[in-house]
A and B are shown apart, each in its own frame.
Chain A
Amino acid sequence: NAGVMQNPRHLVRRRGQEARLRCSPMKGHSHVYWYRQLPEEGLKFMVYLQKENIIDESGMPKERFSAEFPKEGPSILRIQQVVRGDSAAYFCASSPVQVLNEKLFFGSGTQLSVL
């Protein structure tokens, strides 16, 4: 049973470029959550998606950030025109149901570095 797969593990972008982070949930999981972690801090909620639907994007910056979870394929977190402050670890988590408990599994994250 493959776990939550995120790629790439490391992504380097120059200021102004676009960053695309991918997350394939565990098999059978239709709920995906994205979190951001700054150095020395905990994880901060960004967005919660189900297949083809954004359920809660209250933690996502209004500009430059978008997320999708299409019917087929991985969930994508997209950051346009990246700035240095976007440098962080981005974690995806998936669950089979709409609850946040022991059924939530995290991927290994994508470390985004903006030069």
Chain B
Amino acid sequence: GQQLNQSPQSMFIQEGEDVSMNCTSSSIFNTWLWYKQDPGEGPVLLIALYKAGELTSNGRLTAQFGITRKDSFLNISASIPSDVGIYFCAGSGLIQGAQKLVFGQGTRLTINP
């Protein structure tokens, strides 16, 4: 099935450090979304990207839609304890004739105070 490769799988950082994670796909997507999931909760949307090359910020978060439309990255600057969680990329596009949202495997972020 359709897959997104998200890396790294996990990150252990110190509070205040910057974080970078990315997603790649063999297929083209027309929308990239980045979500955060806290334990026992559903994913919450952080950033949505719609155009190749688009760079969008949301507070300390910055995400880019790759030029090839097959990749995206998310950066978090000056991490704080509440940034802990699992971050998922998701690509939205026409797959086998139907509009679908495909998720990456997630990046688990742990922050040492």
Q: Which of A8-65 contact B (CB under 8 A)?
A: 33, 35, 40-45, 48, 56, 58
By DSSP majority rule, is chain B's interface helix, strand, loop, or mixed?
A: strand
Q: Tell me the B21-75 residues at the A interface (CB within 8 Å).
A: 31, 33, 40-45, 48, 50
A102-B33, A108-B42, A109-B41 in contact; A42/B105 too (CB < 8 A)?
Answer: yes
Are A45 and B102 in contact, with the CB atoms below 8 A? yes
Interface residues of B in 65-113 (CB under 8 A from A): 88, 92, 96, 98-106
Chain B residues closer than 8 Å to A48, beta-carbon distance: 98
- Contact of A101 with B by CB under 8 A: yes
Residue A91 lies at the interface, judged by CB distance under 8 Å to chain B = yes
Chain A interface residues (CB < 8 Å from chain B): 4, 33, 35, 40-45, 48, 56, 58, 91, 93, 98-102, 104-109, 111
Binding site for A on B (CB under 8 A): 4, 6, 31, 33, 40-45, 48, 50, 88, 92, 96, 98-106
